Amino acid sequence: MAQCLDIDGSILEGGGQILRISISLSAILGIPVRVMNIRAKRSKPGLAAQHLKGIQLVADMCQAKLKGASIGSTEIEFTPGKIRGGHYVADTQTAGSISLLLQVALPCALMADGPVTLDLKGGTNADMAPQIDYMDKVLRPVLQKFNANFSLKIHRRGYFPRGGGHVTVDVTPVRQLQSALIMERGDLLSVKGLSFVAGTLPIKLAYQMADGARQELGQFPNVNINCYKEDRHMAPDNCSGIVLWCETSSGCVLGGDALGRRGTDAHTAGAQAAGALRAALLSRACIDAHMQDQVIIYMALAEGRSAINTGEVTLHTKTAMHIAELIAKSKFTIQPEGDLNIIECTGLGLINKNIPTE
């Protein structure tokens, strides 16, 4: 086993993302890590329930030895074993984000020795995290370009404050991730979306969010947003939100999303989600701002040169690149191209030796 690698959780973005990518790469590469100063730049530093459950989920998947894993802890040690296929359950027991559980576990599942089912419980549409619909409609097709495939089923929605959402994700492991060149935007084919309300909130809020989004996207053709109210059995608590995604002739998929907030009118929430997507479309980026950091780990592990054409590089993305370089020794470069940036990486070409060649 390699020597334990120290990771400073206070660097750059200084939040939970450092922990997630560190644990994922540790499990995949078999490198023990000690993560210190966890979430040092957050108002409540240390592990929250969703971070703890994410670590424990990956620890279960690879039979890791885990020290310091408790609510509020600012330092953990993670010593990984072999990633095994199987059925794994993680329940935040709060409205903690299911999407963030998936973010830490999915790369590991792709490098398991057999099929993986992730049984995830918590918040499906949570603040400060991608909505689960974004993971399905945007992340899933983007990762297919890296030869990474998963299927996702939403059994029940979970919202703040109680959570209670339930999602299962089925993952088929790969022998090797392939590089992806996501560089040519192509022409916009369509914009699709979901605008929803749940609990006791009136359906008119969903229509107002959709109207706000359509006005923001007025210059683009083929905007189709489905408005609906969740069944009380599917989602008993109050919530409203909107998720948008678009497809282009070159196969690019970009998205934007927002949740309704008390004190903010629904029209504004819809415009907020659409504004992020509109900015990406006008810039001719191929990857939206919220997808940037999520693909970094796949670029680092893939075989060959990957490159993505995106807008301003976010602090989350710079942080993910730093951790990937530190643990995986991958090298990333950022090349400005007018208002856009090209992020490139020559990946490790990691081979999952548990999967036979075809």
pLDDT digits (tens, 9 = 90+) for 155-212: 999 998 889 999 999 999 999 999 999 999 999 999 999 999 999 999 999 999 999 9
Element containing residue 19 per DSSP (H, E): helix 16-29
Grouping H, G, I as helix, E, B as strand and the rest as coil, residue 264 is coil
Torsion (CA) 71, 26, 120, 205 in degrees, nearest 10: 80
pLDDT attached to residue 314: 96
pLDDT attached to residue 43: 86
Q: Cα separations (Å) of 322 from 129, 275, 306?
A: 21, 29, 17
Q: Are 196 and 229 in contact (CB under 8 A)?
A: yes
Domain annotation for the chain: domains and CATH numbers: 5-182+287-346 (3.65.10.20), 188-283 (3.30.360.20)
- Structure tokens, 237: 């608590």
Dist CA 102 CA 132 (whole Å): 9
Residues of the chain with confidence (pLDDT) below 70 = 1, 358
Q: Which amino acid is at 72?
A: G
pLDDT digits (tens, 9 = 90+) for 209-261: 999 999 999 999 899 999 999 988 888 789 999 999 999 999 999 999 999 98
Cis peptide before 161 (omega within 30 of 0): yes
Pairing state between β 116-122 and 165-171: antiparallel
Model confidence, pTM: 0.95
- Using alpha carbons, select from 95, 74, 100, 94 the residue that is nearest to residue 7: 74
As annotated, the active-site residues are 316
Tell me which residue has tokens 């922990």.
19
